[in-house]
Amino acid sequence: MTVTDDLPDGVTYVNASADKGTVEESSGTVNWTIPELAAQNDNVATLLITVTLDDGTEGQTILNTGSVTGDNVPNPPDDPTPVCPDGSQPDPISGECSTTPAPRDTELAFTKTAQDLNGPPTVVGDAILYTLQVTNIGTYTAYDVTVTDDLPALVTCQAVSGDSAPIACDDPLEWTIPSLAPGVTASLYITVTIDEGAEGQTIVNSGSVTGDNVPNPPDDPTPVCPDGSTPVDGVCPSTPVPGTSLALAKTAEDVDGPPVLVGDTIRYTLHVTNTGTYTAYNVSVIDDLPDQVTCQGVTGDSPPAGCADPLVWSIPSLAPGVTASLYIDVTINHGTEGQSIINTASVTGGNVPDPPDGVTPVCPDGSEPVDGICEDSPEPAPGGAIFLPLIVKNSR
Protein backbone atom coordinates (compact mmCIF):
# COMPACT_ATOMS: atom_id res chain seq x y z
CA MET A 1 0.00 0.00 0.00
CA THR A 2 1.34 3.44 -0.89
CA VAL A 3 0.38 6.81 0.54
CA THR A 4 1.51 9.84 -1.42
CA ASP A 5 1.62 13.40 -0.03
CA ASP A 6 2.59 16.07 -2.58
CA LEU A 7 3.56 18.84 -0.19
CA PRO A 8 2.12 22.27 -1.09
CA ASP A 9 4.13 25.26 -2.25
CA GLY A 10 5.17 27.48 0.63
CA VAL A 11 6.48 24.74 2.90
CA THR A 12 9.87 23.06 3.24
CA TYR A 13 10.21 19.41 4.17
CA VAL A 14 12.10 18.69 7.41
CA ASN A 15 11.54 15.03 8.24
CA ALA A 16 8.95 12.25 8.42
CA SER A 17 8.40 9.21 10.61
CA ALA A 18 5.93 6.30 10.45
CA ASP A 19 5.03 3.51 12.83
CA LYS A 20 4.80 1.06 9.93
CA GLY A 21 6.53 0.79 6.59
CA THR A 22 9.13 3.05 5.05
CA VAL A 23 9.10 6.73 4.10
CA GLU A 24 10.95 8.47 1.28
CA GLU A 25 10.89 12.13 0.26
CA SER A 26 11.96 13.56 -3.08
CA SER A 27 11.45 17.10 -4.40
CA GLY A 28 8.64 17.82 -1.98
CA THR A 29 6.76 14.57 -2.50
CA VAL A 30 6.53 12.10 0.40
CA ASN A 31 5.93 8.44 -0.44
CA TRP A 32 4.98 6.11 2.42
CA THR A 33 5.06 2.42 1.63
CA ILE A 34 3.26 -0.05 3.94
CA PRO A 35 3.86 -3.71 3.05
CA GLU A 36 0.56 -4.82 4.52
CA LEU A 37 -2.20 -3.66 6.79
CA ALA A 38 -4.38 -6.28 8.45
CA ALA A 39 -8.15 -6.08 8.28
CA GLN A 40 -8.79 -5.01 11.80
CA ASN A 41 -10.69 -1.96 12.96
CA ASP A 42 -7.88 -0.88 15.20
CA ASN A 43 -5.11 -1.64 12.78
CA VAL A 44 -4.11 1.92 11.97
CA ALA A 45 -0.80 3.12 10.54
CA THR A 46 0.38 6.67 11.24
CA LEU A 47 2.74 8.96 9.30
CA LEU A 48 4.04 12.21 10.77
CA ILE A 49 5.52 14.80 8.36
CA THR A 50 7.27 17.89 9.70
CA VAL A 51 7.59 20.95 7.48
CA THR A 52 8.42 24.63 8.00
CA LEU A 53 6.44 27.50 6.55
CA ASP A 54 8.53 29.48 4.09
CA ASP A 55 9.28 33.16 4.41
CA GLY A 56 6.91 35.04 2.14
CA THR A 57 3.83 32.89 2.85
CA GLU A 58 2.37 35.42 5.25
CA GLY A 59 -1.36 35.77 4.69
CA GLN A 60 -1.52 32.91 2.18
CA THR A 61 -3.76 29.85 2.21
CA ILE A 62 -1.70 26.67 2.38
CA LEU A 63 -3.62 23.42 1.85
CA ASN A 64 -2.41 19.85 2.10
CA THR A 65 -4.01 16.52 1.25
CA GLY A 66 -2.86 13.10 0.09
CA SER A 67 -3.82 9.88 -1.68
CA VAL A 68 -3.63 6.15 -1.01
CA THR A 69 -3.51 3.08 -3.25
CA GLY A 70 -3.16 -0.62 -2.60
CA ASP A 71 -2.43 -3.63 -4.79
CA ASN A 72 -5.65 -5.30 -3.75
CA VAL A 73 -7.71 -2.19 -3.19
CA PRO A 74 -9.72 -1.77 -6.39
CA ASN A 75 -11.61 1.24 -5.05
CA PRO A 76 -9.24 3.35 -3.00
CA PRO A 77 -10.85 6.09 -0.90
CA ASP A 78 -11.18 9.60 -2.15
CA ASP A 79 -8.44 11.97 -1.16
CA PRO A 80 -9.09 13.35 2.34
CA THR A 81 -10.41 16.86 2.83
CA PRO A 82 -7.53 19.34 2.58
CA VAL A 83 -6.28 20.81 5.84
CA CYS A 84 -4.81 24.17 6.73
CA PRO A 85 -1.55 24.47 8.70
CA ASP A 86 -3.43 24.98 11.97
CA GLY A 87 -5.45 21.79 11.42
CA SER A 88 -8.65 23.51 10.38
CA GLN A 89 -10.45 22.95 7.11
CA PRO A 90 -10.77 25.62 4.43
CA ASP A 91 -14.02 27.40 3.75
CA PRO A 92 -16.10 25.08 1.56
CA ILE A 93 -17.05 27.89 -0.81
CA SER A 94 -13.94 30.06 -1.08
CA GLY A 95 -11.41 27.31 -0.38
CA GLU A 96 -9.50 29.77 1.81
CA CYS A 97 -8.09 29.08 5.26
CA SER A 98 -9.61 31.21 8.00
CA THR A 99 -6.19 31.45 9.66
CA THR A 100 -3.10 32.12 7.58
CA PRO A 101 0.57 32.32 8.57
CA ALA A 102 1.58 35.47 10.38
CA PRO A 103 4.94 37.05 9.56
CA ARG A 104 7.94 36.41 11.77
CA ASP A 105 9.38 39.36 13.63
CA THR A 106 12.25 41.22 11.99
CA GLU A 107 14.33 44.38 12.48
CA LEU A 108 14.77 47.63 10.60
CA ALA A 109 17.41 50.37 10.40
CA PHE A 110 16.49 53.92 9.43
CA THR A 111 18.72 56.82 8.34
CA LYS A 112 18.11 60.33 7.07
CA THR A 113 20.43 62.85 5.43
CA ALA A 114 20.11 66.34 3.95
CA GLN A 115 21.95 68.10 1.14
CA ASP A 116 21.77 71.70 -0.07
CA LEU A 117 21.49 71.23 -3.84
CA ASN A 118 22.56 74.84 -4.42
CA GLY A 119 25.76 74.45 -2.43
CA PRO A 120 26.92 76.43 0.59
CA PRO A 121 25.95 78.68 2.16
CA THR A 122 22.33 77.71 2.79
CA VAL A 123 20.19 80.51 1.42
CA VAL A 124 16.50 81.30 1.59
CA GLY A 125 15.00 79.73 -1.53
CA ASP A 126 17.61 76.96 -1.78
CA ALA A 127 16.50 73.45 -2.73
CA ILE A 128 17.20 70.87 -0.01
CA LEU A 129 17.24 67.13 -0.74
CA TYR A 130 16.25 64.89 2.17
CA THR A 131 17.19 61.22 1.64
CA LEU A 132 15.48 58.59 3.79
CA GLN A 133 16.67 54.97 3.75
CA VAL A 134 15.08 51.97 5.45
CA THR A 135 17.02 48.68 5.59
CA ASN A 136 15.73 45.30 6.73
CA ILE A 137 18.55 44.10 8.99
CA GLY A 138 16.57 41.10 10.23
CA THR A 139 16.16 37.61 8.79
CA TYR A 140 12.52 37.79 7.69
CA THR A 141 10.58 39.96 5.28
CA ALA A 142 9.12 43.10 6.84
CA TYR A 143 5.55 43.98 5.90
CA ASP A 144 3.63 47.26 5.71
CA VAL A 145 6.62 49.38 6.64
CA THR A 146 5.53 52.97 7.22
CA VAL A 147 7.83 55.98 7.43
CA THR A 148 6.41 59.27 8.66
CA ASP A 149 8.20 62.56 8.01
CA ASP A 150 6.58 65.65 9.49
CA LEU A 151 8.46 68.24 7.45
CA PRO A 152 9.43 71.42 9.33
CA ALA A 153 7.28 74.52 9.03
CA LEU A 154 9.97 76.60 7.30
CA VAL A 155 10.23 74.48 4.15
CA THR A 156 7.87 73.71 1.26
CA CYS A 157 7.82 70.24 -0.29
CA GLN A 158 8.35 70.34 -4.06
CA ALA A 159 8.71 66.69 -5.12
CA VAL A 160 8.91 63.13 -3.80
CA SER A 161 10.54 60.17 -5.58
CA GLY A 162 12.03 56.78 -4.82
CA ASP A 163 10.91 53.24 -3.99
CA SER A 164 7.12 53.01 -3.56
CA ALA A 165 7.10 56.81 -3.22
CA PRO A 166 3.93 58.70 -2.29
CA ILE A 167 2.21 60.26 -5.28
CA ALA A 168 2.35 63.78 -3.85
CA CYS A 169 3.67 65.99 -1.06
CA ASP A 170 1.52 65.61 2.04
CA ASP A 171 1.95 67.00 5.53
CA PRO A 172 2.90 64.88 7.31
CA LEU A 173 4.39 62.81 4.54
CA GLU A 174 3.77 59.07 4.86
CA TRP A 175 5.82 56.55 2.91
CA THR A 176 4.45 53.01 2.83
CA ILE A 177 6.57 50.06 1.73
CA PRO A 178 4.39 46.94 1.25
CA SER A 179 7.25 44.51 1.89
CA LEU A 180 10.98 44.68 2.43
CA ALA A 181 13.09 41.54 2.12
CA PRO A 182 16.05 40.84 4.43
CA GLY A 183 19.14 42.85 3.49
CA VAL A 184 17.22 45.15 1.13
CA THR A 185 17.25 48.96 1.41
CA ALA A 186 14.44 51.21 0.21
CA SER A 187 15.11 54.90 -0.45
CA LEU A 188 12.93 58.00 -0.60
CA TYR A 189 14.00 61.44 -1.87
CA ILE A 190 12.16 64.56 -0.74
CA THR A 191 13.00 67.89 -2.36
CA VAL A 192 11.97 71.02 -0.45
CA THR A 193 12.72 74.72 -0.71
CA ILE A 194 13.50 77.03 2.21
CA ASP A 195 10.71 79.55 2.76
CA GLU A 196 11.04 83.31 2.90
CA GLY A 197 11.41 84.45 6.48
CA ALA A 198 13.61 81.52 7.49
CA GLU A 199 16.71 83.70 7.75
CA GLY A 200 18.73 82.87 10.85
CA GLN A 201 16.33 80.17 12.04
CA THR A 202 17.15 76.57 12.89
CA ILE A 203 15.43 74.08 10.57
CA VAL A 204 15.67 70.47 11.74
CA ASN A 205 14.02 67.39 10.31
CA SER A 206 13.75 63.78 11.44
CA GLY A 207 11.31 60.91 10.88
CA SER A 208 10.02 57.62 12.27
CA VAL A 209 9.44 54.09 10.97
CA THR A 210 7.16 51.20 11.94
CA GLY A 211 6.32 47.78 10.48
CA ASP A 212 3.58 45.23 11.06
CA ASN A 213 6.06 42.58 12.14
CA VAL A 214 8.65 44.92 13.63
CA PRO A 215 7.98 44.78 17.38
CA ASN A 216 10.93 47.02 18.20
CA PRO A 217 11.20 49.71 15.52
CA PRO A 218 14.42 51.72 15.53
CA ASP A 219 14.66 55.05 17.30
CA ASP A 220 14.05 58.10 15.19
CA PRO A 221 17.23 59.09 13.32
CA THR A 222 19.30 62.01 14.49
CA PRO A 223 17.71 65.25 13.21
CA VAL A 224 19.49 66.94 10.33
CA CYS A 225 19.95 70.57 9.34
CA PRO A 226 19.45 71.71 5.71
CA ASP A 227 23.20 71.62 5.03
CA GLY A 228 23.46 68.03 6.29
CA SER A 229 24.98 68.93 9.65
CA THR A 230 23.70 67.78 13.04
CA PRO A 231 22.11 70.30 15.41
CA VAL A 232 23.84 70.92 18.72
CA ASP A 233 21.44 71.28 21.64
CA GLY A 234 18.69 71.66 19.06
CA VAL A 235 20.43 74.48 17.18
CA CYS A 236 21.92 74.15 13.69
CA PRO A 237 25.58 75.25 13.38
CA SER A 238 24.63 77.34 10.35
CA THR A 239 21.27 78.84 9.52
CA PRO A 240 19.83 80.16 6.24
CA VAL A 241 21.08 83.53 5.09
CA PRO A 242 18.83 85.91 3.16
CA GLY A 243 19.25 86.56 -0.53
CA THR A 244 20.82 89.72 -1.88
CA SER A 245 21.46 91.36 -5.26
CA LEU A 246 24.47 92.30 -7.38
CA ALA A 247 25.38 94.71 -10.16
CA LEU A 248 28.12 94.06 -12.72
CA ALA A 249 29.82 96.63 -14.93
CA LYS A 250 32.59 96.26 -17.51
CA THR A 251 34.70 98.78 -19.35
CA ALA A 252 37.57 98.63 -21.84
CA GLU A 253 40.47 101.02 -22.42
CA ASP A 254 43.24 101.05 -25.01
CA VAL A 255 46.23 101.62 -22.76
CA ASP A 256 48.33 102.65 -25.77
CA GLY A 257 45.80 105.28 -26.79
CA PRO A 258 43.83 105.69 -30.02
CA PRO A 259 43.60 104.43 -32.62
CA VAL A 260 43.22 100.74 -31.79
CA LEU A 261 46.15 98.91 -33.36
CA VAL A 262 47.18 95.29 -33.61
CA GLY A 263 49.49 94.61 -30.66
CA ASP A 264 47.92 97.28 -28.42
CA THR A 265 47.31 96.52 -24.76
CA ILE A 266 43.65 96.63 -23.78
CA ARG A 267 42.62 96.82 -20.13
CA TYR A 268 39.23 95.33 -19.28
CA THR A 269 37.88 96.51 -15.92
CA LEU A 270 35.10 94.61 -14.12
CA HIS A 271 33.23 96.04 -11.11
CA VAL A 272 30.90 93.91 -8.97
CA THR A 273 28.77 95.78 -6.44
CA ASN A 274 26.52 94.33 -3.75
CA THR A 275 23.37 96.37 -4.26
CA GLY A 276 21.37 94.40 -1.67
CA THR A 277 21.08 94.60 2.08
CA TYR A 278 22.87 91.37 3.01
CA THR A 279 26.37 90.03 2.42
CA ALA A 280 26.75 88.09 -0.85
CA TYR A 281 28.61 84.80 -0.66
CA ASN A 282 30.55 82.81 -3.24
CA VAL A 283 30.33 85.48 -5.93
CA SER A 284 31.66 84.21 -9.26
CA VAL A 285 32.38 86.30 -12.37
CA ILE A 286 33.09 84.53 -15.67
CA ASP A 287 34.80 86.34 -18.54
CA ASP A 288 35.24 84.30 -21.70
CA LEU A 289 37.82 86.49 -23.39
CA PRO A 290 37.47 86.84 -27.19
CA ASP A 291 39.70 84.76 -29.46
CA GLN A 292 41.35 87.85 -31.00
CA VAL A 293 43.18 88.78 -27.77
CA THR A 294 45.78 87.18 -25.50
CA CYS A 295 45.60 87.63 -21.74
CA GLN A 296 48.78 89.07 -20.25
CA GLY A 297 47.89 89.57 -16.58
CA VAL A 298 45.11 89.87 -14.00
CA THR A 299 45.07 92.12 -10.91
CA GLY A 300 42.53 93.44 -8.45
CA ASP A 301 40.48 92.20 -5.50
CA SER A 302 40.88 88.44 -4.95
CA PRO A 303 42.17 88.00 -8.52
CA PRO A 304 42.64 84.59 -10.13
CA ALA A 305 46.13 83.16 -9.93
CA GLY A 306 46.68 83.63 -13.65
CA CYS A 307 45.14 83.89 -17.09
CA ALA A 308 42.69 81.11 -17.86
CA ASP A 309 40.13 80.60 -20.59
CA PRO A 310 37.47 81.22 -19.56
CA LEU A 311 38.66 83.45 -16.75
CA VAL A 312 36.83 82.82 -13.46
CA TRP A 313 36.99 85.45 -10.71
CA SER A 314 35.81 84.19 -7.31
CA ILE A 315 34.92 86.52 -4.46
CA PRO A 316 34.26 84.64 -1.18
CA SER A 317 32.05 87.39 0.29
CA LEU A 318 30.94 90.89 -0.62
CA ALA A 319 29.34 93.15 1.99
CA PRO A 320 26.37 95.42 1.16
CA GLY A 321 27.40 98.53 -0.76
CA VAL A 322 30.93 97.24 -1.40
CA THR A 323 32.44 97.05 -4.90
CA ALA A 324 35.15 94.60 -5.94
CA SER A 325 37.25 95.29 -9.04
CA LEU A 326 39.27 93.17 -11.44
CA TYR A 327 41.66 94.36 -14.15
CA ILE A 328 42.49 92.16 -17.11
CA ASP A 329 45.28 93.23 -19.47
CA VAL A 330 45.23 91.67 -22.94
CA THR A 331 46.99 92.33 -26.22
CA ILE A 332 45.35 92.33 -29.63
CA ASN A 333 46.56 89.44 -31.73
CA HIS A 334 48.14 89.83 -35.17
CA GLY A 335 45.82 89.00 -38.01
CA THR A 336 42.79 90.67 -36.40
CA GLU A 337 42.88 93.81 -38.54
CA GLY A 338 39.36 94.97 -39.36
CA GLN A 339 37.68 92.52 -36.99
CA SER A 340 35.14 93.37 -34.29
CA ILE A 341 36.50 92.32 -30.90
CA ILE A 342 33.65 92.11 -28.42
CA ASN A 343 33.83 91.12 -24.77
CA THR A 344 31.22 90.62 -22.06
CA ALA A 345 30.93 88.84 -18.67
CA SER A 346 28.43 87.30 -16.24
CA VAL A 347 28.11 87.05 -12.46
CA THR A 348 26.43 84.69 -9.98
CA GLY A 349 26.34 84.40 -6.19
CA GLY A 350 25.55 81.69 -3.68
CA ASN A 351 22.71 83.74 -2.18
CA VAL A 352 21.84 85.79 -5.25
CA PRO A 353 18.57 84.28 -6.50
CA ASP A 354 18.30 86.71 -9.44
CA PRO A 355 21.78 87.55 -10.75
CA PRO A 356 21.96 90.42 -13.24
CA ASP A 357 21.98 89.77 -16.94
CA GLY A 358 25.37 89.80 -18.65
CA VAL A 359 26.98 93.22 -18.93
CA THR A 360 26.73 95.32 -22.05
CA PRO A 361 29.44 94.15 -24.49
CA VAL A 362 32.41 96.44 -25.02
CA CYS A 363 34.84 97.03 -27.88
CA PRO A 364 38.60 97.50 -27.28
CA ASP A 365 38.27 101.31 -27.36
CA GLY A 366 35.53 101.24 -24.69
CA SER A 367 32.64 101.83 -27.07
CA GLU A 368 29.58 99.61 -27.40
CA PRO A 369 29.10 97.53 -30.53
CA VAL A 370 26.16 98.32 -32.77
CA ASP A 371 24.36 95.27 -34.11
CA GLY A 372 27.34 93.20 -33.02
CA ILE A 373 29.90 95.33 -34.86
CA CYS A 374 32.52 97.65 -33.36
CA GLU A 375 32.73 101.07 -35.00
CA ASP A 376 36.51 101.07 -34.66
CA SER A 377 38.31 97.82 -35.41
CA PRO A 378 42.07 97.17 -35.06
CA GLU A 379 44.34 98.76 -37.66
CA PRO A 380 47.71 97.33 -38.72
CA ALA A 381 50.56 98.32 -36.47
CA PRO A 382 52.85 101.05 -37.91
CA GLY A 383 56.36 100.14 -39.02
CA GLY A 384 55.39 96.89 -40.64
CA ALA A 385 56.87 95.78 -43.95
CA ILE A 386 55.54 97.57 -47.04
CA PHE A 387 55.63 95.79 -50.36
CA LEU A 388 55.93 97.97 -53.50
CA PRO A 389 55.65 96.70 -57.06
CA LEU A 390 58.88 96.57 -59.08
CA ILE A 391 58.43 97.28 -62.77
CA VAL A 392 61.22 96.41 -65.21
CA LYS A 393 60.92 97.83 -68.69
CA ASN A 394 62.94 96.65 -71.66
CA SER A 395 63.51 99.70 -73.88
CA ARG A 396 64.80 97.69 -76.78
Q: What per-residue confidence (pLDDT) applies to 352?
A: 87
Each of the 396 residues of the chain gets a pLDDT tens digit; together they read 899 999 999 999 999 999 989 999 999 999 999 998 887 766 888 999 999 998 888 889 999 999 999 888 889 888 888 999 999 999 999 999 999 988 888 999 999 999 999 888 898 888 999 999 999 999 899 999 999 999 999 999 999 999 999 999 998 999 999 999 999 999 999 999 999 889 899 999 999 999 999 999 999 999 999 999 999 999 999 999 888 899 999 999 999 999 999 999 999 999 999 999 888 888 999 999 999 999 999 999 999 998 998 999 999 999 999 999 999 999 999 999 999 999 999 999 888 888 998 789 999 999 999 999 999 889 987 765 444 445 555 555
Nearest in space to 367 (alpha carbons), one of 377, 357, 358: 377
Q: Output Rg (C-alpha) for the chain, integer angstroms.
A: 41
If 0-12 CB within 10 Å is exposed, 13-18 middle and 19+ buried, where does residue 52 land?
A: exposed
The class of domain 1-102 in CATH terms is mainly beta
Residues ≥6 apart with Cβ < 8 Å to 87: none
Other beta carbons less than 10 A from residue 46's beta carbon: 9
Domain layout of the chain by residue ranges? 1-102, 108-210, 243-396
> Burial letters for 206-238: b for 16+ Cβ neighbours within 10 Å, e otherwise?
bbbbebebbeebbeebebbbbbbeeeeeeebee
In contact, 224 and 205? CB cutoff 8 Å: yes
DSSP 186: E
- Domain 243-396: homologous superfamily in CATH: ntegrin, alpha v. Chain A, domain 3 (2.60.40.1510)
- Domain 108-210: homologous superfamily in CATH: Mu homology domain, subdomain B (2.60.40.1170)
Fold agreement (1-102, 108-210): yes
